[in-house]
Structure 1
Amino acid sequence: MRLTVLGGCGAWPAAGQACSGYLLERDGFRLLIDPGYAVLPRLLATVDAAAVDAVVVSHGHPDHCADLSPLLRARALSAEPPPPLPVYAPAGAVDAVLALDSIRSVAGAAETIVLTDGDGVRVGPFDVLPALLPHFVPNLGVRISDATSTLAYSGDAGPDPALVELARDADLLLIEATYPDAVPDGNAGQLCSAVEAAEQGLAAGAGRTMLTHLWPGIDPARYLAAAATVTGAGGAELATPGPAQPIGV
């Protein structure tokens, strides 16, 4: 299993960056997780749109799914359109994005499959287990495993025992950490700070904890410093766009 971080900004993409977007690969199968704002150009620098085999969306906020729309255009309007793209998402999460386009060929370019809390599904070589986690809208974190390794991804979520269980002994916990030190009162319980994210990874016994959904304009070093108050220096890393990296063995 290999992970390519396409973007890790929260809310909106900073200049030259993208919001949440992650490409998971094994044996030639490509699973795109959360195609948020500005993810598609970064994806296309890596693979052709037709090479994506399936998509998983954690929740319906546009910084996690807006670029599903241009991805479907890139597929449906190509010279040789591929089959409809399976899109796994919570009920109704991608309805608004799919409704953006009235072009008939694009309307049929996706096959939506509803993900529900606790109901595992097989997606290519991956076992995907969704878990409902606290956020402002229904949000499903996912535990994705193959024969050798496990990735846990929180989507956007506040700290919660269900998140710890989702990430239990995972090789990598990819976790939202919108704020470095503390979550403002109005968002408390619905989002994580870097401190809380590090605490969740430590409690879960995750092999690595990777912080993502970082607020544009905040110095990334602040997130690492905040996480280090829990785990020590080097105990967390940032979701930085770059080449594919292996997860586990």
Structure 2
Amino acid sequence: MLLTILGCSGSLPGPDAPASGYLVEADGFSLAVDFGSGVLAALQAHRDPFSLGAVLFSHLHPDHCGDFTGLTVLRRYHPDPPYDPTERKLPVHGPSESPDRFARAYAESAEELARTDLGDVFEFHALPEGTVHIGPFEVTAARVAHPCEAYGFRIATPDASLVYTGDSGPCEALHELADGVDVLLSEATWQHREDRPADLHLSGRQAGRLAADAGVGELLLTHVAPWTDPEVVLAEAREQFTGPVELARRGKSYRIG
């Protein structure tokens, strides 16, 4: 399995830093996980967007899905696509409101919204809590602690496993997903303080504690907000977890398994 960081800025894009977006590849199949602001440009620097096999959304806050409208434009209006996007629709797995939310974000008017559901170029699938198969991946989704329908994912092949927290405060679902995983890709939005709002985000300390309790092989910290010092959350995580820890870097690829 190969993980490529397309974007890892938390809550909004930063200077020359796309928001959340990741590319997970195995056996020639490419799965985009989240598609925040700036991710479409970053994807084009690594892969032809038409080569995507599927898109998987953890939740529908703009920093995780804002560039999906651009992907719609590409699939609808590219003058010379490598295949007919209306005959080979791109599977999109996400929260139950995804088709309506994305249609509303794309439509220029109420009249256009009445005429389009984006089903001409996408095939939408509402995420269940549990396991689905997407290409070569076994994807286990679990609801996590965030103020909307939000999921964390365990993405596995027979030889490798990756857990992505999405956006979440500490919760039991994350511990169950992360148990013994090879790589934990965990949000670490802010520095630790006891008065942080509950059920929203993780600090570096909480991400490190999660990694230690779950016995993961490696911890990658992502979704660090532009106003947060990444070295502080990295130090917090290392105080809690003695295994390998690093900050996710835009454009870097990690081989798993």
Name the residue aligned to 2:237: 227
Q: Gaps (5+ residues) in structure 2?
A: none
What's the RMSD between the two structures over aligned residues?
A: 1.8
Q: Distance in 1 between matches of 2:94 and 2:209?
A: 27
Alignment of 1:134 with 2:139, yes or no, is: no
Q: Distance in 2 between matches of 1:246 and 1:131?
A: 24
Q: Gaps (5+ residues) in structure 1?
A: none
Alignment of 1:99 with 2:109, yes or no, is: no
Alignment check: 8 A CA contact 1:73 1:106 kept: no
From 109, 114, 132, the counterpart of 2:121: 109
CA shift in 2, pair 1:239/1:76, >3 Å: same
What are the within-5 Å matches in structure 2 for residues 159-170 of structure 1?
159-170=170-181
CA shift in 2, pair 1:243/1:178, >3 Å: closer
From 184, 188, 195, the counterpart of 2:205: 195
Deviation of the 1:92 alpha carbon: 0.6
After superposing the two structures, state which structure 1 stretch, 214-223 or 43-52, moved more: 214-223
Alignment check: 8 A CA contact 2:178 2:184 kept: yes
Q: Distance in 2 between matches of 1:42 and 1:98?
A: 23
Q: Distance in 1 between matches of 2:99 and 2:238?
A: 36
Q: Distance in 2 between matches of 1:235 and 1:243?
A: 16
Amino acid at match of 1:11: S
Q: Could you tell me the TM-score, scaled by structure 1's length?
A: 0.92
Deviation of the 1:98 alpha carbon: 2.8
- Give the paired residue count: 245
Alignment of 1:75 with 2:85, yes or no, is: no
Q: What per-residue deviation string (whole Å, max 9, x for no partner) do you get for residues 80-126 of structure 1?
A: 343211000021145322322247799222111010212x1110000
Say which one has the larger Rg. Answer: 2
From 206, 223, 226, the counterpart of 1:213: 223
**Secondary structure at the counterpart of residue 99 of structure 1:** helix
From 120, 123, 132, the counterpart of 1:121: 132
Amino acid at match of 1:22: Y
Alignment of 1:150 with 2:176, yes or no, is: no
Moved over 3 A (4+): 102-106
Q: Could you tell me the TM-score, scaled by structure 2's length?
A: 0.90
**Secondary structure at the counterpart of residue 111 of structure 1:** strand
Q: Distance in 2 between matches of 1:3 and 1:225?
A: 23
Alignment check: 8 A CA contact 2:99 2:117 kept: no
Deviation of the 1:133 alpha carbon: 0.8
Q: Distance in 2 between matches of 1:243 and 1:196?
A: 24
